[in-house]
Amino acid sequence: MHPNALSCPLGQVVRPVFTGTFESMRGRGYVKELEPGRFLVRISITDPLTGKRGQPSKTIRGTRKDAELALARLQIDHLGGTAVSTDTTLDVLIDQFLSAPTRSGSPREPGSRYRELCRYQRHVQPGMGDRVADGINSHELTRLYDALITRGLKATSVRLIHALIRSAFTWGEKRGMVSSNPAKLAECPTARTEPPHAPSMETVQAHLEILQEDPETALAVRLA
């Protein structure tokens, strides 16, 4: 897997793509395919203090999706923060959220990121990954959860997926990447009645990490 990729290669499109503006340095960025499998990513920035302009760039080998993610990281590297863009796809939002430090400032535990990413890639990415995150509404998320339950996915797994999406949107909203959080109004399934059994350590760890990331969800769990 390419180091800049969310998962397996996705399709390529030969055209420049503007990804939005920056909050602090008012820059723009684009992706340009130089040849099959080789892309140029470049941003234009202006320092508001000095007025100095620059165009940091990077050459990426891989898919167009790899290049888009590399562009997002280039923006972060040169802004010292997160790029603001209402055109951010759900793939990019999830990738940046899982790559960001936790609320305590410490790096996310690799095993946790891997588990969250696998759930996302398997159950959400195929139908929504390329969608602009700001264009996804609560009804679509509710229907997604319904479909996952219908296909036999356990309610506990669907709730973990919902918690990831909700936390990612909360994180992105605070950084100007999305204007609202549709997961707050989405209906997440409750657990089916089953004989009591102790959860696995993996499930407990995943829940704890999610609750640490999203205080609103943590409060809802405490009040339930």
pLDDT tens digits, one per residue of 145-199: 999 999 999 999 999 999 999 999 999 988 888 889 999 999 998 765 556 667 7
Q: Which two three-digit tokens encode residue 116?
A: 């969250």
Per-residue model confidence (pLDDT) at position 16? 38
Domains 1-85 and 105-223 alike in fold: no
Per-residue model confidence (pLDDT) at position 125? 95
Rama region for 163: left / alpha / beta (φ>0; ψ in -120 to 50; rest): alpha
What's the pTM value of the predicted model, to 2 decimals?
Answer: 0.55
CA distances from 127 to 122, 141, 143, 160 (A): 10, 11, 12, 18
Per-residue model confidence (pLDDT) at position 56? 82
Beta bridge partners of 31: 41
Rama region for 214: left / alpha / beta (φ>0; ψ in -120 to 50; rest): beta
């909050």: which residue's tokens? Answer: 23
User: Where do the structural domains in the chain lie, given as residue ranges?
Assistant: 1-85, 105-223
């080789």: which residue's tokens? Answer: 38
Question: How many angstroms separate the CA atoms of 22 and 83, rounded?
Answer: 5
CATH code matching the domain that covers 105-223, chosen among 3.30.530.20, 3.40.50.300, 1.10.150.130, 3.30.930.10:
1.10.150.130
List the chain residues with pLDDT less than 70: 1-28, 46-51, 77-86, 191-197, 211, 213-224
Per-residue model confidence (pLDDT) at position 4? 43
Helix and strand totals (H; E) in the chain: 8, 4
Beta bridge partners of 40: 32, 59
Domain 1-85, CATH: 3.30.160
Per-residue model confidence (pLDDT) at position 14? 34
Question: How many angstroms separate the CA atoms of 170 and 96, rounded?
Answer: 12
